[in-house]
Chain A
Amino acid sequence: MAEAPLIQIRNLSKSYGSKLVLKELSLDIYPGQVIGYIGPNGAGKSTTVKILTGLIPDFDGEVIVNGINMANDPLGIKKLIGYVPENAEIYDVLTPMEYLDFIGKLYGMEETQLHDRARRLLMAFGLGTNGDDRMDTFSKGMKQKVLLIAGIIHNPKIIVLDEPLSGLDANAVIMIKELIMRLSQEGKTIFYCSHMMDVVEKVSDRILLINKGEIIADGTFESLKQNHSDTLERIFSKLTGRGDQASETDAIINAFD
């Protein structure tokens, strides 16, 4: 960990109206790390991601990626990041090839290289024969694969994945888990947001737990286990203040009386 951090977040705060979503968040992320970013609904997870990917331009504090300050040069940062959004938004009247061509050109990629890479990625993701079909007939999993490809097509240094496994079948899930590890071996930094604790537990080498706009746990799965509990699920519920599961289930059972 001697190297300089790739992503530096300093005193990051964000509020919607009077509601404070992020409270003075500070964070260093090093190259090649796979960060598992977890937290309950409404904890500020997507807000962090949206700030990091430049979707939300106004915030307090500092975000520095690869020495570039978000406030000065958001475009420089966006070039380094590949983002796979959670809510599967895609121009589905286009075909995958047309869509990837569009995205690649926005990154300023050269056409022959772009098309070649797009075809190969589509093939590798099992969409080789669907490259020229309109996406409005695609299943959720197929669209998700196209989104994943669009997120890595420009060979970014940092990959931000927000629930990337939604809609994918078991084989694809195994493939993506593999892929994440391989990408991190290639030196990519991966920021992985999910509610699926078992996957986070396996793929990430550093886990960040956010609750009510603050990071309340930070470390490898092993270190979290020592201090708290034996599975990530338990750690999660313990730290996010839902330790008392018994009384909740009691209330549910009693509702039938």
Chain B
Amino acid sequence: MNEILLMLLSMDKFFLRLVSFFYPVLARTGVDTDQLNEILRVKLMMDNRRPKAMFTARRNAKNNGQQSPWLISFFTLLMGFLIGLVLTLNSMPYVGETYYFIIFMVLMAITLISDFTTVLIDTRDQFILLPRPVNDRTIAVSRILHISIYILRLALLQGLPALVIVGFVDGLLAVPIFFIQIIEATFLSIFMVNIIYLLLMKSVSPQRFKDIISYFQIGFSVLVFGTYYLLPRLINVSVLGNIDLLTHWWAYLLPPVWIAALNELLVHSSRSGLITSVLAILGLTVPVLGLWFVAKVLAPGFNRRLSVIATSDGNTNASTQVKKSGRFNFIEKISNLIAPDPIENAGFRITWKLAARTREFKMKVYPAFAYVPIYFVFITFNGSGALSDRLEKVQNGHSYVFLIYLSTFILSTILTHISMSEKYKSAWVYYALPIDEPGKILSGMYKAIITLYFLPYCLVLSIVIVTVWGPQAINDMILAFLVSVVYGMMMALFMVKGLPFSKPVIVKQGGGKMITSLMILGLIAALGFGHYYLMRWETVIWIAIILFLFINWIMFRHYKKQSWESIELADL
């Protein structure tokens, strides 16, 4: 086992040596193999130092960019083991392998898109490699080999546990066949990703393209989070084992079925028919054809488009002008209505615009929107009994208020990130300008957070809740919302004292703050449970709403009056 781990760690060297066998052949086609080796070595080294999107969800600033390749290899192996378990679920290897390869390919494609895009469109190559005496073929080959090594490493790590498992489940003969199947699945994933890229690049501008990729990354971290929490709760795993996907005719259109068919044909030839043979042949030929198609037809245009994306920052006059459409006027009207004071208005608008346009902020905050419902389902469905029973119990109860209270998680996520930015130095304007009460900027910022993110989110939740639980939930929603706003303001008062986007991205939560944070959290929990017990008296809730409106008003007045002394300044 130790040896295997060692081998995996030195995989880069292993791959480099593997590639070096082809150097004589490559050299004959005009590739400078010394340069090629050097480029590959440095690129692989940089890959290892680059943080991966898959783990960013729960990564804190402390180990920023310092993930060891060990850990990543280990997690990839673990992931591979978990999906490898799918193989043991069904008594029919054909079905089990189909499930396995569906998951394998989806995971592979998503990892490729979310983690490897940055490598593909590394704009620095334009300025670092191009002025050096490296010929085009060497660069092109280095790119292809780099991608291949990355993908093969991923595929091997991800597939290794299943390779062992299949030996136990299906006999030794299945192991080498499985190896071929993994390669088939990898090729098909590359084909899929290429198609996705091409469609994206055809239909959107380079800037949009980068945005869409970051949404992919957000989606991916939510997916990983959700699977960990929910899949074991909602699906009775043994049920999956009894569903036979293959009884439906359309299942034969799925490529993973073709891949699994190879095993059926060669290992269990007694029960395989003509259809299985056809599918197995499809499974062998389509990946190769797909790869050929990628290399011959897609790749040339692909590289040209990529270089357009890479250079788009400087050369093309692609219009980045912000459309001054009706929506923006609408937003401006709202800001004038909610934050009439000029300074407060400025704080409102700057927060609104920067938050909506800063990719790093969105990457950190948007997943939180999805985590809340996942948490809710996780907590409320956390019980024994059949799924339908639990569902009924939830619908008869009043637990829905907690959905809003849980949403305060979004508020605290936004608040912790709103004061941080990679370009925090631009915040010098706040200090250079004659602002007497920075609290006004803060209250503008807070109002923007509420109107831009929290209120719309709560409205959506309320609509869902009212349709499920009925209109008597309306006053509870209003009260929970008001309490949450108070909670957020307390967070902002005691925890986050920076102006919007004004601090470097380093989180150092002092011990004293930890206690404050827990106290605020305790208070909100007490209020939430208080609300839960008062819910039977509708009028009490209405009275509480009036009370909290008043509290909100007082808090805002206080919040607005913050002076420079109470604000944490960053060193500029």
Residues of A at the B interface (CB closer than 8 Å) are 16, 53-55, 75-76, 78-79, 81, 83, 85, 87, 89-91, 93-94, 98, 102-103, 105-108, 134, 136
Contact = CB atoms under 8 A, between A and B. Distances in A.
A46 to B, nearest CB: 8
Interface string B436-480: 000000000000000000000000000000000000000000000
B130 A91 contact: no
A85 B131 contact: yes
B23 to A, nearest CB: 15
30 contacts: A53-B130, A54-B131, A55-B131, A78-B131, A83-B131, A85-B127, A87-B127, A89-B123, A89-B127, A89-B128, A90-B128, A91-B42, A91-B128, A93-B46, A93-B49, A93-B50, A93-B65, A94-B46, A98-B42, A102-B38, A103-B128, A105-B34, A106-B132, A106-B133, A106-B134, A107-B132, A108-B34, A108-B35, A108-B133, A134-B49
Contacts of A78: 131-134
A81 B123 CA distance: 21
Given A87-B127, A89-B124, A98-B42, A16 B315 contact: yes
B247 interface: no
Interface of B: 34-35, 38-39, 42, 45-46, 49-50, 65, 123-124, 126-135, 314-316
A77 to B, nearest CB: 8
A38 B38 CA distance: 36
B128 A87 contact: no
A249 B35 CA distance: 55
Contacts of A54: 130-131
Nearest to A108: B34
B38 A16 contact: no
A197 to B, nearest CB: 23
Given A79-B133, A89-B124, 9 more contacts: A55-B126, A78-B132, A90-B124, A94-B42, A94-B45, A105-B34, A105-B38, A106-B39, A108-B34
B124 A91 contact: yes
Nearest to B315: A16
A102 B316 CA distance: 30
Q: Which has the most chain B C-beta neighbours within 10 Å: A79, A87, A134?
A: A87
Given A102-B38, A105-B35, A75 B130 contact: no
A83 B133 CA distance: 12
Nearest to A134: B49
A171 to B, nearest CB: 23
Nearest to A82: B131
Nearest to A160: B131
B126 A89 contact: yes
Contacts of A94: 42, 45-46
A103 B38 CA distance: 9
Nearest to A150: B128
A159 B139 CA distance: 23
A90 B49 CA distance: 15
Nearest to B35: A106
Contact of A53 (B38, B49, B131, B135): B131
Contacts of A102: 38-39, 42
B86 to A, nearest CB: 36
A80 to B, nearest CB: 9
Contacts of B39: 102, 106
A16 B317 CA distance: 10
A107 B126 CA distance: 16
A134 B128 CA distance: 17
Contact of A106 (B38, B50, B65): B38
A105 B35 CA distance: 7
A238 B359 CA distance: 43
Contacts of A16: 315-316
Smallest CB-CB A-B distances: 9 pairs: A78-B133, A89-B127, A83-B131, A89-B124, A93-B49, A106-B132, A105-B38, A79-B133, A75-B133
Contacts of A89: 123-124, 126-128
A107 B131 CA distance: 10
A107 B134 CA distance: 8
A244 B171 CA distance: 88
A55 B133 CA distance: 11
Contacts of B131: 53-55, 78, 81, 83, 85
Contacts of B132: 78, 103, 106-107
Contacts of B124: 89-91
A75 B42 contact: no
Contact of A75 (B123, B126, B135, B314): B135
A102 B134 CA distance: 12
A90 B124 CA distance: 6
A98 B43 CA distance: 12
Given A16-B316, A85-B127, A136-B65, A107 B133 contact: yes
A108 B35 CA distance: 8
A85 B183 CA distance: 42
